[in-house]
């Protein structure tokens, strides 16, 4: 696993997992319902194999109504897991910007780096 190679087991550094589900060139964004099992798996694996290393998991952008539904679905997750998941609503097209709420959790330089890498996927 990537984190196993990147994080020293003796350090207490925490990580933030960012899951950007915006569409890309050649693929559409997944439906909100289809990603729930994936999010649960990712967060569950991190909690199991890297206990207390996951600071939060940020999922964006979801349509507003899907954000409400997802936040309600968090009631059925383990409370520790649910508390670490942040869902941010916004538009999901290729050109859509990162939702403003994400800026509450990630600094502007990190967002700029993520956006540069994302845009790099679309360059030929």
**1 belongs to a structural domain:** no
Split into its structural domains, the chain has a count of 1
pTM confidence score: 0.82
Q: What is the pLDDT of residues 94-111, one digit of tens each?
A: 889 999 999 999 999 999
Rounded Cα distance, 54 and 120, in Å: 27
Residue 65, in any domain of the structure = yes
Q: Which domain holds residue 25?
A: 15-122
**What is the per-residue pLDDT for 120?**
86
Low-confidence ranges of the chain (pLDDT < 70): 1, 123-124
In a domain, 109, yes or no: yes
Residue 2 lies in a domain: no
pLDDT at 124: 54
Q: For the range 111-115, what are the long-range contacts, defined as Cβ-Cβ under 8 Å and sequence gap of 24 or more? A: 114/18, 114/20
Note the pLDDT of residue 1: 60
């Amino acid at each position: 696993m990537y984190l196993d190679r990147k994080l020293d087991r003796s350090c207490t550094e925490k990580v933030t997992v960012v899951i950007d589900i915006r569409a890309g060139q050649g693929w559409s964004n997944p439906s909100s319902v289809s990603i729930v099992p994936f999010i649960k798996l990712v967060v569950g694996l991190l909690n199991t194999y890297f206990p207390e290393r996951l600071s939060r998991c940020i999922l964006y952008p979801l349509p507003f109504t899907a954000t409400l539904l997802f936040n309600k679905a968090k009631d059925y997750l383990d409370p520790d897991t649910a508390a670490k998941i942040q869902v941010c609503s916004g538009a999901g097209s290729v050109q859509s910007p990162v939702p403003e709420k994400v800026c509450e959790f990630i600094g502007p330089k990190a967002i700029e780096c993520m956006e540069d890498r994302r845009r790099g996927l679309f360059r030929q």
